[in-house]
Amino acid sequence: MISGTHSGVGKTSVTLAIMAGLTRAGLRVGAYKVGPDYIDPSYHTVATNRASHNLDEWMMGKDACQWLFEKTSQDCDIAVIEGVMGLFDGVSPTTDEGSSSALAKLLKTPVILVVDAGKMARSAAAMIKGYQTLDADIHICGVILNKVAGENHLKLLTEAVEAYNHIPVLGTLFKNEDIMIPERHLGLKTASENEELHDCLTRLEECCQKIDLEQIMIHAKRAQKDSLSVKPFNIIPEATLPQEPIRIAYAYDRAFQFYYQANLDFLKNCGAELIAFSPLEDTTLPENIHGFYFCGGFPEVYAKEIKENQDMHALIKQAIKDGIPTYAECGGLIYLAESVKSLDGKVFPMLGIIPGQIEMTKKLVNFGYCENEMLDDCFLGRKGEQFRGHEFHYSQWNGEGVAAIHRSIKKRKGQERDEGYCLNNVLASYVHCHFLSYPQRARHFLAQAQNFHQLQQRKDQVYA
C-alpha cells in the first residue's frame, strides 16, 4: 500500500510512478484505491492498462473488501493499493474505521509511507516515528520522500530516517512542477480530460529511477506469505440469473465516468449485458435495451454540448416515457433534471425527467459518507432497507424533498435529510451506491429491467 502522512503529500504521483514503472517492466499490476474516489482509479487504469478497483471498508464491509481483492488480484504479479488522505484518517478520530490503516491490516499488506519532505530534515524522522508507533499492527516497510530540494537535502533526510526509524528510503521525488496533475472542483481532472497525461506518466516513469522497484517487489512477495482468510461472499444466487442477457445501456463519455468497476462487474455477473453510449456525441441509442444507468461526472461542464444533442434528448425521454427502468446517480440526476444553472448565471436545459433546477455553487454542498434508508417501496428497493453510500457535489437541486426516496444520515455531523427522487421507473439521487454494499439495488434494477424486456416482447408479439 502506498499511503501518505496527509492529503496532498503526493501519494497519487508516487503511486502512478510505481504502477507505470512496474508495468513497463512487464509485470501485471493490480491497481486499487482505498475509499470512494473515482478519479484516481482512472489514472491507475492508464498507468497499468488494467481496471482499477475501489476498496472501501466502511461502505462495502470487510468481507466484501477481502473477497473483491482476492478475486481481482489472482492474475496479478503485484497489487499496488493507493491509500486515501493520511494513513490513519477515516470516519472516526479515535478508531481506524474507514482508513487506509484499517484496510492495510485487513489485507495484511505492508505500507510505504509518502512524506512531503520539502521543508524538513531531521524533523521528518520525528514525523515518521509517530506513524510507526501509533498502531503496532501496521507494518511500514519504507518511505518515499517527495519534494526533495536536491542531493544534499536527500543525504540529510536519508541519514535521519535510517538512524531513527530503522527503515529504508525506498525512493525520492525531487521537487518538480512538471509532474503536478491538474485539478478541478471535484479534485484531480479525470484521465480523459488530462491531454498531457501520457507525457506526465512518462515523466513519472523517469522518476522511478529514483524509486527502488526491486525492494518494493521483495516486500510485496513477503506479504504473500501471509495468506488472507477470505470468507465466502455469495452475492449472486444462481437461481436468480436470467435465462437471456438483460441489456443495460450505461452513459460513458467525458461527462459521465464515475462508475465503480465492481458495480459494472456485479451487473454482468448478475446477467446483464452492458452497452456503453454517449449522451454527448451519439445520436442514436443502442438497440434492444432494457434499462438505463447514468453515473456521476461533469454534465454541468458539458451542458452546452448536452443541450445541442436534441436527438439523444428525444430518444431518452421517449424510452423513459415508455417505462424503461432508469437509475441515475449525482451527475445522472443533473442530466435528468429540468435545467442546470452555471456559476456565471447561464441556464442550460437538461432532459426534464425529474422536477427542479440544478444550481452550481462555489462550495461543497454535501461531502462524505452517509447512511441511507429507503422511505418507501420502489422498483430499486423496499421500504426500510438500509445501505451506506457517499456524496461529493458542488451543485444544489431545488427539487430535493419532492417525492424523496432516501433518508440520508451523517451521524458524526448530526445531519439528516430526505434525499433523492423516485417516480414509477426512475430513481435519481446524489448518493453514490456501491453494489457490494447494497446488492439488492442491483438485483432489483435487473429484475425490473427483465420485466420491462418481457413486456416489450409481449407487445411485439401482439403487433407482429
Q: Over 293-333, what HEC string results?
A: EECEECCCCCHHHHHHCHHHHHHHHHHHHCCCCEEEECHHH
Q: Of these residues, 330, 370, 378, 422, which one is catalytic?
A: 330
Q: The C-alpha cell of 213 is what? A: 522497484
Query: Residue 338 in contact with residue 439, Cβ under 8 Å?
Result: no
Which residues pair with residue 370 across a beta bridge?
389
Contact 67, 95 (CB under 8 A): no
**Of 207, 193, 192, 153, nearest in space to 10 by CA:** 207
CA atoms within 13 A on the CB side of 314: 6
Cell of 95: 478508531
Task: Show the cell assigned to 260.
Answer: 465503480
The dihedral through the CA atoms of 411, 329, 236, 36 has a sign that is: negative
141 in catalytic set = no
Q: Buried b vs exposed e over 146-183: b needs ≥16 C-beta within 10 Å?
A: bbbeeeebbebbbebbeeebebebbbbbbeeeebebee
Strand residues in 204-268 grouped as ranges (E): 246-251, 256-258
How far apart are the C-alpha atoms of 385 and 305, rounded to whole Å?
A: 38
Compute the distance between CA of residue 406 and CA of residue 387 in angstroms, rounded to an integer: 10
- Whether 366 contacts 385, CB under 8 Å: no
- Spatial separation of the C-alpha atoms in residues 350 and 335, rounded to whole Å: 6
**Partners of 31 in the beta sheet?**
52, 80
Indicate the length of the chain as a whole number. 464
Q: What angle do CA 308, 310, 314 make, to 5 degrees?
A: 160
| Phi/psi of residue 91, nearest 5 degrees | -90, -10
Catalytic residue positions? 330
